[in-house]
A and B are shown apart, each in its own frame.
Chain A
Amino acid sequence: MAAQNDAGGHLSAVPSPEEQAGLERFNALIAEDSRIEPRDWMPEAYRKTLTRQISQHAHSEIIGMQPEANWITRAPSLKRKAILIAKVQDEAGHGLYLYSAAETLGTPREVLNEQLLSGKAKYSSIFNYPALSWADMGAIGWLVDGAAIANQVPLCRASYGPYGRAMVRICKEESFHQRQGFEILLELAHGTEAQKRMAQDAINRFYEPALMMFGPPDGDSPNSQQSMEWKIKRFSNDELRQRFVGMIAEQVKVLGLTLPDPELRFDEEAGRWVHKDLDWDEFKAVIAGNGPCNAQRLERRREAHENGAWVREAAAAYAAKKAQKAQVA
């Protein structure tokens, strides 16, 4: 359900009594850890921040289908093929849940889609890296979905109701995504020398980009503070990142493989994990569009959208004709 745009849109310099009352109620709901629902009054900045975050998240799911779809037709066993189709299909589903949540804030999906196709909207930079081997299906499941889940579990409690509800559904479904990825790597790690090399190579390539999925370091993340105050975000980027790296540091031992990070250790004194410095220049370059696959990923979306135009038009025309007939009858 879409939000009502007219009630309490923009805060003018002098808030009207309605805006003042709306803001007070909004602040009270946030303070008591309640949820904001679509038709509640909300500050314009809250609406904008959420629309941006949720739609970026949705775009990431949709673009994220591509590196994995790249291996569906080549999956090395029929069981793995079935799992991979189900997983990529889930991602389309997750994109849809999230677009629905974003739409409740008042921006229609077609507008969000246009923002993606025009390159105006961002999405998770990791999907601009190529999936080069079958082991990448494992690394993406284990590391990329793992990082995503670490990010998403706290979002189940996000202050915006539809976002939190979408995340609950997504997290439930994604629990299989990370496991299937880990098991792909586990098979490879216990397989032939070539398979083992394939697995280690995939981990080497995805480790850093996966850690960067949590976003820039806290000191360099200007929007984080406000999002925490609004209870959209519950933990800082660095908190989530070091928690995640601690988990995978243990899990990699089960695989009998290594993480490409000689500096990785648990700092007993600080009570937190320390990892190597990440290449944030590369991160920014990839976000800005210079990743190995940015152009390819967007072009695929554009192509699907353009090739599908006549189909969408036909279905809309059919619906209109039917409705007209029903009216006459």
Chain B
Amino acid sequence: MDHSLDSYGDATASATRVTPGNALRPEDIAIQPERPSQAVARYAVRLGDDSLILSHRLSEWVSRAPELEEDVALGNIALDLLGHARSFLSYAGLAWGKTEDDLAYFREEEEFRSLHLVEQPNGHFGVTIARQLMVSIYQDLLYAGLTGSTDNTLAAISAKASKEVAYHRDHAVQWTLRLGLGTEESARRMRHALEILWPYVNELFLDEPLHDELGDAGVRPSALKAAWEREIAAVLEEAGLEVPQTRAALCKGRQGEHSEHLGYILAEMQVLARKHPGATW
């Protein structure tokens, strides 16, 4: 069928010009000649898994958001995160002759390296926003640092991701303000959301021996902690909310010990691919 619309006199031409844009794509990374070191690959898996699982959670919102405009907004963030995950996993896979899909669909739960925080259920919109606020401030700081990585590919992926997560952060901040200062109910829900998620924050800043190996190719999580605490406290204060005093939960996601939720996420995510091993889609 001829989809060309030129014959219909497109009066809005200049407002609807579309281009794919040019940016680093996962497909390009998968075929690039440079291979990551073992340490960089293991690190990239951590970054990729966090984004993949959070993207999965956000994609669960599609067709369920509080307003249609927000459906589009959450979808955008899920897509950005999925893009980051694909880039990091594609790059990691180069070290072991594996594809992004090998890593996403055919690893076992204990082989995943995601943080407990990103595995937490969506809950109501306030819980999702609280989780977004925590993760996006973290990723904003992380990618800003990684843009200077001595590993060129990590630096390049992070440079693109950095701009995108800055927007995710803005989205989360805007909603935190509205929910914190909107109605009594929204403030109550937001306080509750922060409290139930706060125990998982500590894990974001745990260093591993891996970070010693990485040197300047990576960013030491503990180095982000002070800035993160300062920045989230400022947002919460502006939103009339308080930094929760809940205690840190013992989380070992980076060692493959996950929340109970991840098993279900993977069961769903991997079911079709595993039913047809070796198939292409």
Contact = CB atoms under 8 A, between A and B. Distances in A.
Q: In the complex, is A directly touching B at CB under 8 Å?
A: yes
Nearest to B190: A314
Interface stretch (A47-55, A207-215, A302-310): A302-310
Interface residues of A, number: 63
A65 interface: yes
Given A78-B85, A149-B3, A318 B181 contact: yes
A312 B67 contact: yes
Contacts of B56: 73
B12 A92 contact: no
B181 A313 contact: no
Nearest to A321: B181
A96 B3 contact: no
Given A73-B56, A77-B273, A169-B16, A304 B281 contact: no
Interface residues of B, number: 60
Interface string A66-100: 10010011111111111001101100110110010
A314 B179 contact: yes
Nearest to B10: A168
Contacts of A173: 18
A80 B276 CA distance: 15
B182 A317 contact: yes
Contact of B182 (A69, A191, A300, A314): A314
Contact of B72 (A96, A150, A309, A315): A96
B268 interface: yes
A78 B101 contact: yes
A232 interface: no
Given A156-B5, A300-B63, A308-B65, A74 B101 contact: no
Interface in B67-94: 67-72, 75-76, 78-79, 82-83, 85-86, 89
A88 B75 contact: yes
A310 B185 contact: yes
Contacts of B10: 168
B107 interface: no
A172 B16 contact: yes
B272 interface: yes
Nearest to A65: B63
A195 interface: yes
A82 B271 CA distance: 17
Interface string A309-329: 111111111100100000000
A66 B71 CA distance: 12
A157 B8 contact: yes
A313 B183 contact: yes
B8 A156 contact: yes
Given A79-B86, A304-B65, A315-B182, 9 more contacts: A76-B105, A92-B63, A99-B68, A153-B3, A173-B18, A300-B64, A307-B124, A317-B183, A318-B181
28 contacts: A65-B62, A66-B63, A77-B101, A78-B26, A78-B52, A78-B85, A78-B86, A78-B89, A81-B59, A89-B71, A89-B79, A149-B3, A165-B11, A168-B8, A168-B11, A172-B5, A187-B280, A307-B125, A310-B183, A310-B185, A312-B67, A313-B186, A314-B179, A314-B182, A316-B182, A317-B183, A318-B181, A321-B181
Interface of A: 62, 65-66, 69, 72-82, 85-86, 88-89, 92-93, 95-96, 99, 134, 146, 149-150, 153, 156-157, 165, 168-169, 171-173, 175, 178, 184, 187-188, 191-192, 194-195, 247, 300, 303-304, 307-318, 321
